[in-house]
Structure 1
């Protein structure tokens, strides 16, 4: 058996119930006790561990138990040949957990005379120069504040050099300068969630091993890139923790919520951010207060939930495809339409397929809210095939009423069923011509899919037309407005079950870059035409007059 007091301290904190750990860290302790701490051929270099901790606490900040625990495993060696047991260290924690601060301490120490290895060069790598410089700049500033450190290290804006060991700390970008000039002893890869493959990683670690002992540090929070480098690292980590890989293939320290529902209990937040464990430092208490403010803001701004879950709780929602609004928020659109007679509005259409559905509408601004008048058209053949429209008596037996009670909506005047081979574009134009008698339609907005047919007809009828060239691009721009609108009950559809159905069918798909697109939950029967029509109208609704304060985010431009 081997032991180190900082390792023992951290394990005891968990076993005594003083800190909470997520499943991955519980697995880590179990794995360490069974496969690592039980070995006789390893040893902790306690002197080096103490020196690193003292160095960090003297020049940087007081180290927390989890940070001392991590440092201990940086200096775990084989007895026989003094090789490091862990070459690869994987630290994944929620935003604010001090990953950059700790790596600043470790890298600064490793180039110092206390580590004592000549020319033990270290590169800090990230996708952007600003991120790559984060830890480097911290060490640069620490040296600048200390007379003794100035006598031990030379610093420039691009590298820090130990005067005694000639070891160099340097930052690099993953797509810029690569391995030229330095044969590194260690490499740090920061914000690894942004890496789509291991291509850049391979380039930077290709020089490792020429200077002993080689080390690799992979640090960051989770992100939106799926099936990329980070996901492969997480898979490897789980294999190690489950005993399915070589015991020292990776040291995985993963902090995250176990379940999305745990977000609502603040005591669980330390699972994703060990800095929040009690007793909290002044920094940790300030961090907790900041996270609490962000959490409370989610009630009014749900568009930030994915970001909060991913970055603060280190738990991307497993299913990143979500409804556009809660059902109670969709139901809240059932507000009486105000008197809009002769009011100015934006006309909008969604006419994606002339063989099934088409929707047209008018979007208004009225006392800070957004009333919407709409009508849809559906081809009879399509309605018969997918909704049993003509089978009035046995629609429920056919199981298709669940998708859409087309006949009921037709009787309520919410849609029109047309018995034609295709929906006639002139039918759409005629609806707007009729509405023009009651409302001032400033312009008509639609995407470019069918506008080559509709635009000449609209212009002939005297309407101004705006074509959205890339309709999916406006989804990301409008997502905050849409989410805030539903959350704050700002959308008025009247008692319109068809619009509620359209809206409930919308799938919010989050792309790898974090941008959102509105798609269908089911490609054929669960239509979204009315909702897409509404979004087209929102695109230019700011051009309409309104005497009340609007809720649009300041940083959104259209």
Structure 2
């Protein structure tokens, strides 16, 4: 079946042995051919040719997949003269050039080739920078050839107007307040994934239908908002492609990995990004990002979410690669007189308690720690780590008592304060009552603002920094491998909104107290002075 050059060539490519495409692209080709086989529709090839002639004004040409979308969305009509595909949905990986496509499409539809006077276009996004991204692409093209375009367009940083048609292009992050804004010919949504509800979407599209050939174009990657408008739109698109739902004029162009595991095979990245084979610089950048993702998938979830269009959902990973933990197990420098912040963590005082001091020198962090283990802990028979070695290394104390007294940890902090400047103490909000009175005796209290009680939200905020510090070898915690054991016992759980929480892999035989004490200190590292502190008493925090 022959339709037109731009459509036929892309369909032929998708079905060729050369193509690496997701199954939704194959379904799309079947869907388009079915429409032309069973319905009375046609391509206005003269109009399409005139539209594509406008590429001479742009610093780039539309790629095959873009010409395919443009032809179907803008130049395919039913016999009654109405557009067959007035709604275009483009879900492609970051870097594919979707804003470039939208810039050309909106520029073209403002010209007399469209044949509609006052065909206003409203562009929407949830942030101003994103809303004006495509607008500025067109603005810059006009500015670069202002002597030529001044006869055809008027423009400023808020509105672009075609002189012949009176069509206006504007960008918005909220509902437009002008009469023109209520009568658009076309509405664009950029980065649809960021919308959490339909409030603005419904207002933005409410004025469509007052002008001939009403259109919507939605361009987006995947994002972190779940069960919102994008997820529902994708479900609808998939039902359309599978023939389970009438399309109602929607053209779904979806590109993503068929299976998340395909991320580890470079050629499969083309499934998510139909432009990748044309952009070698983009491929090079993605290779660099993949290395970071592989080493630290928790911090670099955007690679899966936005490059591959496969958000991880709720996933569990080790906090970092084992090799990063090995590299962190190295000797500490002499930090006498340096500023630091203390972190404390424990599950129960009849088990493990860990305290440590976090130093920051430039970008490098150092963690000086100590562990107390209750000999009455019921979990000791389960623990395979050689605690005796840590005790011999001087970083662990066995406490032969029914529990570990907070006084032992506070006494350790008091001794450390003779060597280092402890700016503050951080610990879990839910466990601070046991330590509060003892810490107050040596000068740390919530009232003095040098005791921080962390909440889960604090950990979520610092998780990307922790991943970065580990992957870039910016942390050292001494030569005893017990910290390596603590951190390896932690799993980083990413929820459907992209928030990270640190949890125990196994609560009884794999302790995490040392890791969580370090994480606690990391949430307050901004109070650390990054140089030796002179002229101050080292026990300045002690009463």
TM-score (norm 1): 0.80
User: 2:356·2:368 contact (CA, 8 Å) conserved in 1?
Assistant: yes
Q: Which residue of 2 aligns with 1:531?
A: 515
Identify the residue that residue 257 of structure 2 maps to in structure 1.
257
Task: Specify the alignment match of 1:185 in structure 2.
Answer: 185
Residue of structure 2 equivalent to 1:457: 438
Distance in 1 separating the partners of 2:210 and 2:531: 69
Give the CA deviation at 1:504: 2.9
After superposition, the CA RMSD in angstroms is 3.7
Matches of 1:291 and 1:411, distance apart in 2: 43
Matched, 1:508 2:492: yes
Report the alpha carbon displacement of residue 124 of structure 1 after superposing the two structures with TM.
0.7
**C-alpha separation between the residues in 1 aligned to 2:160 and 2:14?**
38
Counterpart Cα distance in 1 of 2:465 and 2:288? 21
| Correspondence for 2:311 among 290, 309, 316 | 316
**Cα displacement (A) at 1:246:** 0.8
Q: 2:269, 2:193 → 1: CA distance? A: 21
3-state SS of 2:243 partner: coil
Q: 2:110 maps to which residue?
A: 111
- What residue in structure 1 maps to residue 450 of structure 2? 466
Give the count of matched residue pairs: 519
**Match for residue 38 of structure 1?**
37
Q: Is the 8 A contact 1:193 1:229 kept in 2?
A: yes
Give me the whole-angstrom Cα distance separating, in 2, the residues matched to 1:366 and 1:129: 37
Q: Secondary structure at the match of 2:114?
A: coil
Q: Which residue of 1 aligns with 2:370?
A: 374
Over 3 Å counting, the alpha-carbon distance change for 1:523 and 1:411 in structure 2 is closer
Q: Spell out the pairing of 1:292-311 with structure 2 (5 A cutoff).
A: 292-295=287-290, 305-311=300-306
Q: 1:245 to 1:472 in 2, by over 3 A?
A: same
Q: Which residues in structure 2 correspond to 1:38-77 (within 5 Å)?
A: 38-59=37-58, 61-75=60-74, 77=76
Taking structure 1 as reference, are residues 443 and 141 closer, same or farther at Cα in structure 2, changes over 3 Å only? Answer: closer
Question: Aligned partners of 1:485 and 1:73: how far apart in 2?
Answer: 48
Structure 1 residues 379, 207: CA separation in 2 closer, same or farther (over 3 Å shift)? farther
Q: Distance in 2 between matches of 1:249 and 1:524?
A: 57
CA distance in 2, matches of 1:175, 1:205: 10
Q: Distance in 2 between matches of 1:436 and 1:148?
A: 72
- 2:422 alignment partner, one of 442, 450, 460: 442
Pairwise CA distance, 1:331:
4.7
Q: 1: CA distance between counterparts of 2:49 and 2:141? A: 20
**1:364-443 aligned within 5 A:** 370-377=366-373, 380=376, 383-384=377-378, 387=379, 401=382, 404-405=383-384, 409=387, 413=391, 414=396, 416=398, 420=402, 424-433=405-414, 440=420, 442-443=422-423
Partner of 2:154: 154
1:524-543: per-residue Cα shift (whole Å, max 9, x none)? 88653321211233443853
Q: Would you say the 8 A contact 2:314–2:493 is kept in 1?
A: no
2:282 aligned with 1:287: yes
Instruction: Summarize the Cα distance change of 1:495–1:315 in structure 2 as closer, same or farther, 3 Å threshold.
Output: same
Q: 1:101 to 1:174 in 2, by over 3 A?
A: same
Alpha-carbon distance in 2 for matches of 1:169, 1:339: 60
> Which residue is equivalent to 1:553?
none
Q: Secondary structure, in 3 states, of the residue corresponding to 1:75?
A: helix
Structure 1 position 140, deviation (Å): 2.6
CA contact (8 A) 1:2 1:42 kept: no
Cα deviation, 1:191-241, whole Å, max 9, x if unaligned, reads: 111111122111111111222322111102122222222111221121112
**Aligned-pair distance for 1:126?**
0.9
Task: For residue 264 of structure 1, report the CA deviation from its aligned partner.
Answer: 4.4
Structure 2: which 5+ residue stretches go unaligned? 534-543
Kept in 2, the 8 Å contact 1:179–1:204? The answer is no
Report the more deviating stretch, 235-244 or 156-165.
Answer: 156-165
Mapped partners of 1:370, 1:101: distance in 2 = 46
In structure 1, C-alpha distance between the alignment counterparts of 2:356 and 2:73, rounded to whole Å? 63
Partner-residue secondary structure (3-state), 2:150: helix
Q: Is the 8 A contact 1:57 1:63 kept in 2?
A: no
Is 1:142 equivalent to 2:141 in the alignment?
yes
Structure 1 residue 494: Cα displacement: 3.8
CA-CA distance at 1:500 after TM superposition: 4.0
How far apart are the structure 2 equivalents of 1:328 and 1:37? 56
- Higher mean Cα deviation, 35-44 or 439-448? 439-448
Structure 2 CA distance for partners of 1:176 and 1:84, relative to 1, 3 Å: closer
Residue range with higher mean Cα deviation, 140-149 or 531-540: 140-149
Distance 1:181-1:432 versus aligned 2 partners, 3 A rule? closer
Inter-CA distance 125–353: structure 2 relative to 1 (3 Å threshold)? farther
Counterpart contact for 2:10–2:65, Cα < 8 Å? yes
Deviation at 1:114, TM superposition (A): 0.6
Change (3 A) 1:369 1:101: closer
The one-character-per-residue Cα deviations of 1:341-394 (angstroms, maximum 9, x if unpaired) are 9675643212466686542234457995624322145695xx54xx4x5xx5xx
2:541 equivalent in structure 1: none
The unaligned stretches of length 5 or more in structure 1 are 393-400, 548-558
Counterpart in the other structure of 2:539 = none
TM-superposed CA distance for 1:311, in Å, is 2.7
Q: Kindly tell me: are residues 128 and 485 of structure 1, through their superposed partners in 2, closer, same or farther at Cα, counting changes over 3 Å?
A: closer
Matching residue of 1:213: 213
Matches of 2:259 and 2:444, distance apart in 1: 52
Q: Is the Cα contact below 8 Å between 1:300 and 1:484 reproduced in 2?
A: no
Identify the residue that residue 122 of structure 1 maps to in structure 2: 121
CA offsets 1:486-519 (integer angstroms, 9 cap, x no match): 335543354444x444323433344677564434
Aligned position for 1:84: 83
Per the TM alignment, residue 306 of structure 1 is displaced from its structure 2 partner at its CA by: 1.7
Equivalent in 328, 352, 355 of residue 360 of structure 1? 355
Report if the CA contact (8 A) 2:42-2:79 is conserved: no
Q: Which whole-Å CA distance do the structure 2 matches of 1:45 and 1:525 have between them?
A: 70
Distance 1:238 1:378 in 2: 57
Distance change (3 Å), C-alpha of 1:137 and 1:487: closer
2:184 pairs with 1:204: no
Residues 485/66 of structure 1: CA separation in 2 closer, same or farther (3 Å cut) = same
